[in-house]
Amino acid sequence: MAEHGHNNGPPLDDPEHEWGNGPVGKYFDWKAASAAAWKVPDEIAIMRARRAEKLGLSYHEYTLEIMERGRYLQAADVERIAEIVAKRGVRY
pTM for the full predicted model: 0.68
Residue type, 46: I
Of the listed ranges 19-33, 44-58, 64-78, the one predicted with least confidence: 19-33
Q: Say whether pLDDT at 25 is over 90.
A: no
Average pLDDT, the chain: 84
At 31-45, the pLDDT tens digits run 898 899 899 999 999
Q: Say whether pLDDT at 12 is over 90.
A: no
How many CB atoms lie under 10 A from the CB of residue 51? 18
What does the domain layout of the chain look like in residue ranges?
A: 43-92
pLDDT computed for residue 52 by the predictor: 96
